[in-house]
Amino acid sequence: MSLKVDRLSVSFKTGDTNFYAVKEVSFQLEPGKVLGIVGESGSGKSVTSLALMRLLDEEKAKVTGSILLNDKALLELPEAKMRSFRGNRIGMIFQEPMTSLNPVLTCGYQVAEAIQLHLKVGRKEARTKTIKLFEEVQLPRPEAIFDSFPHQISGGQKQRVMIAMALSCNPEILIADEPTTALDVTVQKSILELLLRIKNERNSSLIFISHDLGVICEIADEVIVMYKGKIVEQAATETIFSNPQHPYTQGLLACRPSPQFRLKKLPVIRDFLKTDLHGEIQFSGTTINEIRQRYALSDDEKKQRQKKLYNQEPLLKIKNLNTWFPIKKGFLQRSTETVKAVNNISFEVFPGETLGLVGESGCGKTTLGRSLIRLIEPNFGKIIFKGQDILTLPQNEMRRMRKKMQLIFQDPYSSLNPKLTIGNAILEPMEVHGLYGDQQQRKKKVLELLDRVNLLPEHFNRYPHEFSGGQRQRIVIARALALQPEFIICDESVSALDVSVQAQVLNLLKELQREFNLTYIFISHDLSVVKHFADRMMVMNKGEIIETGDPQKIYEHPKEAYTQKLIASIPGLGLPLL
């Protein structure tokens, strides 16, 4: 089944003007092929996919152009007829499975419901088909997951449920909208392999949407690059990666941390683009190689930094730390087993160092981070911070100690109070700890912090929902800095960000480290990011540290099979520009 899109435009009414989210986009998808659509948030990728499915609110969105599915004009179909095309002819995997799945219905019920609706079969047959689909997408214990609620399964498993739902009515075209964002690299790789296998077995076509060119290169035959609603480059995947023509494409390629290059800072989009007086994009004249030479970290600079770091007394010493969780079963909720989330771990962190902590979801990274500042109480061991074992401190003294030890959470939106303006969210911890004298001085400090993380004074009175993901991440960084900490744990703090925004946040964290002599533990599942950002890397698996050392050496000569698997899962390995 072929899909032809011609001069597709989508506009939204904003006051007296029309905002064009998609501007005259044209492309063709041939049977059995994979088309990758790449660009930053706001580039028009998801709006394009929703327009193809006719899922946009027709009262708010004006869609023009044509969408031909085997010569059927989808934009001209009555809604009742279009409903039969959705699911049956075109399926869609949405970006965030946790918000796309109904939390009060079991996973199996939600897939079976779609099968009953579209295929007109009974409940028993729908259950059988659903379990078969769960087997096809390689879900473990498919019958148990049928009866599980979304919160009871992992992120990768939820994504597989969403894929099963999209496949439930045998669509000839599948649209996958950021289906691997924020997943572990190993889970991400398995999802990409799964999608390709299903496409080949069913001889279907796939539109794969992502902000990450490294992921796109693993799966797509042809790539479309979108910027501000327009297609700025379109070519075969090999051509895009070996010889990108548009400066925006070059910028996207360069922003992503590369296993092949060690840089002082990451390039950002504005290194490659400039805008003329008419708002048109122009090439700045700088190439990827020139940027990388400008930001290159020499061996001498690296050695000098390591000598400075490791000739000091450690800021933090962890000795035989254990955090275990009992598994309670039965009517009386008796403890039958124990999960050793952190199992007899010892290591040191030096002042001004960035220690990277990598591993898959469930390996114990987040539990270790929270144990270090006693948001989760360890069972036993020692956490010696500046010569004092903080596990011996009573709670009131530990609260005071947390001024020096802060945590940046993975999801900035859920860690900000939606009822507080961001100015008050940053000011609140200053009040709690009685810093900076009075409210006037505290507000002045908040404005300084906003400026330092590249936000504006007028942002003080705005609420979290009024900001982008990258801006919210800057807000929580400013809040962490409000108490003048010496040690910050960054827990997956860039995992869900666009590669361009991720580069900006990583550069900001490095600048702040130099300015305030901060010490970081940087938790991530992405070895490329940790290799760029960290001075030293620890690999964690099943509650234990299995490998520690220089990130470059671990990347080039991993000792453990688990580390080798993580490295092999990095998308885009071996590409000339990555």
Where does the pLDDT of residue 578 fall: very low under 50, low under 70, confident under 90, or very high at 90 and above? very low
How far, in Å, CA of 170 to CA of 166, rounded?
A: 8
pLDDT at position 576 over 60: no
Query: What's the pLDDT score for residue 333?
Result: 60
pLDDT at position 495 over 50: yes
Query: What's the pLDDT score for residue 409?
Result: 84
pLDDT at position 77 over 70: yes
* Residue 243 burial (CB count, 10 A): 11
| Average pLDDT of the segment spanning 512-527 | 93
User: Model confidence over 357-415: pLDDT tens digits?
Assistant: 999 888 899 999 999 999 999 999 999 999 999 999 999 999 889 999 999 987 777 78
Average of per-residue pLDDT values in the chain: 89
Which of 133-137, 212-216, 443-447 is predicted most confidently?
Answer: 443-447
User: Model confidence over 520-533: pLDDT tens digits?
Assistant: 999 998 888 999 99
| Average pLDDT of the segment spanning 545-571 | 93
* Residue 369 burial (CB count, 10 A): 23
Query: What's the pLDDT score for residue 335?
Result: 60
How far, in Å, CA of 354 to CA of 489, rounded?
A: 10
For helices 499-516 and 247-255, what crossing angle results, to 10°?
50
Entry pTM = 0.86
Query: What's the pLDDT score for residue 570?
Result: 85
For helices 469-481 and 499-516, what crossing angle results, to 10°?
10
DSSP state of 297: P
User: Model confidence over 423-439: pLDDT tens digits?
Assistant: 999 999 999 988 988 99
| Average pLDDT of the segment spanning 106-110 | 94
Query: What's the pLDDT score for residue 573?
Result: 66
How far, in Å, CA of 214 to CA of 180, rounded?
A: 12
| 508-512 own/partner pairs: CB under 8 Å, 24+ apart | 508/453, 508/454, 508/474, 508/477, 509/477, 509/533, 510/264, 510/265, 512/452, 512/477, 512/481
Token pair recorded at residue 254: 């360069």
Where does the pLDDT of residue 153 fall: very low under 50, low under 70, confident under 90, or very high at 90 and above? confident
Strand partners, 36: 208, 223
Instruction: Pick 152 or 469 by higher pLDDT.
Output: 152
